[in-house]
Chain A
Amino acid sequence: MEYDFLIERSEKPVYKGNLKEFNASFNDRNQVCGDQVEIFLKIEDGIIKDAKFDGKGCLISMASSDLLLEQVIGKSIDEVLKLDDEFIRKLVKVPLGVNRIKCATLPLKVLKRAVIDYVSKNKN
């Protein structure tokens, strides 16, 4: 059924774990399901060279985290900041209502905050 690949992805994530060397990270929660996602990034010359996530929560938030990181490795931080909720909807495929969509978009919110914090720290 439509959820199968999400279940698979949430239970066998590729990008879950810790990054030995990272220079950007952020951690946030979502009140709908109590999901918690932390993302670690290794950024070099404005490009996401590597990424990992950690956290716990519903399968939507976990699968969405994994699918998102797969997409962003190799992208520039400018490209990452332009990603929107529509991008996430396409990644997770299953239709999500106004409440549940927050689980899917949590990792994008966390990712962007990690990048924004990185940019403001490295301004000078």
Chain B
Amino acid sequence: MSFNVEEIRKDFPILKDVIFFDNAASTQKPLQVIESVEQFYKNNYANVLRGVYKLSEKATELYEQSRKFLADFFGVKSKEVIFTKNSTESLNLLADSLTRMIVKKKGMVKVLISVLEHHSNIVPWFIAKERYENVEIEFVGLNQEFKLDEKDFLQKVKGKDIVSLTGLSNVTGYVTNPKLFEIAKKEGAITICDGAQLVPHHKVNLDYIDFLVFSGHKMLAPVGIGVLIGKQDLLEEMPCFLGGGEMISQVNVNNFKAAELPYKFEAGTMPFVQAYGLMKALEYLNKIGFDNIVEHEKKLVEYALQKMKSVKNITIYGSDLEDKTGIIAFNHKRFHAHDVASFMDMRNIAIRAGHHCAMPLHEFLNINGSARVSFYFYNTFEEVDKFIDALNWINAL
């Protein structure tokens, strides 16, 4: 399909009123997704999996159809697709369950993450350490360009049981070199890719990734649905995370037996309507084409970076075009990041300010916070121009 931003924007009426540059936090939703969810509630709604009446069966079909769609999209089996509420829950599940499994087998677990990580890929490991004690957590550092330091990685990866890295930094916008997952795998580690920022924009190759996590709300889908994709043998060996509801096959007064995959990890009534919305979102993205998405965002970010470099008083964190995707973190020499965001808001430009849930990274950069613009395929060059105008206006204050 040819890529036409103006046509696409008709599906997102809200974009008429705002320049939305906070897509890394969450994206807007196209009418197709909103309407599909509405239709589900209007015509097909009942709790899934348990009812024997037609309505429940219909809802169950749509839920399982969504799982199958995701499985086909990623080239995995349906039972390897676990629904959660977001990336954070998926990572908490992994940190808890994998730690418990490995500590039980070996007495301890060695985990490698990086200073780039979102708190959602740091804190669950610290919590696992509190719970199961013998957990060693090491951080890969960054190089001069704020990319993962590959030399440091090569040293630290040795002997690790788990390597969990972001696939794309939500602050620098750099894609992680997929080779790192391959190296980690060859070193014998279980590999986890935090795909919260990667999956909405890129097709991911799972050859060397044991677990991939992501959030629907960052890729056009409703809030409340997340995904964990994992290798069947590992998922089968791992102990349960949350208990109750569909994750059970048998319970008596002494014990319980967990259900088969994927239900083993799906406790309680799941966000099944949102899962359906996620399928519709993926259908929409497929129609646009991931190659088109990457190409358009690459052009936007190159254009924005080139213009931003000529604006005075701006410090950009990571402007190397190689590996760069549509996220730019920056600071203004005179104004605090939140003030910059408030000034932008006066011109109806929505940008983010703060530490973006990546405090260790900001500590590394030796700053309290930063302002961040993040693009999606529906953003335009004219919007970037208006953002640049706003930066110049801020400079003139």
A residues lining the B interface (CB < 8 Å): 1, 3-4, 7, 32-34, 56-60, 100, 103
Contacts and interface: CB of A to CB of B under 8 A. Distances in A.
Interface string B342-356: 110010000001110
Interface residues of B, number: 14
Interface stretch (B14-22, B73-81, B125-133, B333-341): B333-341
Given A57-B336, A58-B338, A100-B338, A33 B397 contact: no
Q: Which of A7, A33, A57, A60 has the most CB of B within 10 A?
A: A33
Nearest to B343: A3
A103 B397 contact: no
A34 B369 contact: yes
Nearest to B355: A34
Nearest to B359: A34
A100 B369 contact: no
Contacts of A58: 336, 338-339
B39 interface: no
A33 B335 contact: no
B343 A103 contact: no
Interface in B293-346: 335-339, 342-343, 346
A3 B344 CA distance: 13
5 contacts: A1-B346, A33-B337, A33-B369, A60-B342, A100-B342
Q: Which of A1, A56, A58, A100 has the most CB of B within 10 A?
A: A58
Contact of A7 (B354, B355, B397): B397
Contacts of A3: 343, 397
B249 interface: no
Given A3-B343, A58-B336, A59-B339, 12 more contacts: A1-B346, A3-B397, A32-B338, A32-B354, A33-B336, A33-B353, A33-B369, A56-B368, A59-B335, A59-B336, A60-B338, A60-B342
Interface string B229-269: 00000000000000000000000000000000000000000
Interface of B: 335-339, 342-343, 346, 353-355, 368-369, 397
Contacts of A103: 338
A1 B355 CA distance: 28
Contacts of B339: 58-60
Nearest to B393: A1
B343 A33 contact: no
Contacts of B346: 1
Nearest to B342: A100
A109 to B, nearest CB: 18
A4 B353 CA distance: 21
B335 A34 contact: no
Given A7-B397, A57-B336, A59-B335, A34 B368 contact: yes
A59 B346 CA distance: 15
Contacts of B353: 33
A4 B338 CA distance: 16
A57 B336 CA distance: 7
A60 B343 CA distance: 12
Contacts of B342: 60, 100
Contacts of B343: 3
A33 B342 CA distance: 12
A7 B337 CA distance: 14
Nearest to B397: A7
Q: Which of A4, A59, A60 has the most CB of B within 10 A?
A: A59
A57 B339 CA distance: 10
B363 to A, nearest CB: 12
A45 to B, nearest CB: 38
